[in-house]
Amino acid sequence: MSLYIRLSDTDLCFARYEASAPSDFQYTSFHLAPQASLTLNLRSAMQQVALLHEGFDRVEVLAAVPVTPVPLADFQEEDAAAFYRFCFEPEGNPRVFYDTVPSVNAVFLFALPESVCHALEETFGEGNVRYTASLTPVVQTFATKGLGVADPRRIFVYVHDDRAEIAVLEAGRLLIQNSFTVQSLTDVSYYTFNMARHLAIDVSATPVFVAGPSLLREPVVSEFRQYAAKVFPILPAADFNRHVVATTDGVPYDLVCALLRRRV
């Protein structure tokens, strides 16, 4: 049995899922107490979340943290930590991970504080926990969308929490990816179309896809349509054939992609 944990600054999302038994899917979320450490929050969740009382063979942690992409051909595993620290200059000594994303010929580097990893492994068992960046399954899914159009470039925007994740793909190649803290619709528009301008993208012809919870996604779609001709919302229920994971209220888009990416 597999347990999936989505870790963000504000919430822990828990899901039990096996592809062989989709009807047994369970999902719940736990709001983090900001004044408490992750260890204390995990202890509280273990006491309050019935889902966590079951036994699990494997724990998949989906970390909603920034990533930096590296071309797959240039990646050397021994350089991952140094490269990450050069790009982000993090505080302390975080544990650096990498995800291989062959669908866009890239590797995503990301990190978590050592204290966070220790708390998770202390709770669920060191050998059972595997870490993935939440953006990895999202970009893997993006790589399958909008193929075969006249302009091989596509702009993707994933809005969640207080961030906008923006990726520009050209056929099977990742041209650029970045994460921005946003407070308003104008912030999302500014970062998206400024990136398009720097890449000399004609937004009257290039499709723009927007993913995220509907309360964030739909206002962004309406805002973007003031500036771009081809703006499309990404609807998980339609994309994943109304799978129970994709139709369950509250499941973040990145977690949907992580659970169902093999079905895309």
Rounded CA separation 209/138 (Å): 12
Give the per-residue pLDDT at 170.
92
Which residues of the chain have a pLDDT value below 70? 148-150, 262-264
Chain center to CA of 264? 16
The H or E element spanning position 17 is none
Give the per-residue pLDDT at 149.
65
Residue 237 corresponds to which tokens in the numbers above? 């229920």
Closest listed residue to residue 17, CA positions, set 32, 33, 9, 28: 28
Contact partners, residue 254, CB within 8 Å, separation at least 6:
6, 62, 64, 134, 135, 137, 138, 158, 160
Give the per-residue pLDDT at 104.
94
Give the per-residue pLDDT at 68.
94
Give the per-residue pLDDT at 264.
37
Strand order through the sheet with 95-101: 68-71, 106-112, 95-101
Q: Would you say 14 and 250 are in contact if contact means Cβ atoms under 8 Å apart?
A: no
Give the per-residue pLDDT at 91.
76
The beta-strand segments (E) located in 47-195 are: 58-63, 68-71, 95-101, 106-112, 129-133, 153-160, 163-170, 173-181
Give the per-residue pLDDT at 19.
86
Give the per-residue pLDDT at 224.
98
Give the per-residue pLDDT at 23.
87
pTM of the model: 0.93
Rounded CA separation 122/126 (Å): 7
Closest listed residue to residue 205, CA positions, set 142, 169, 155, 147: 155
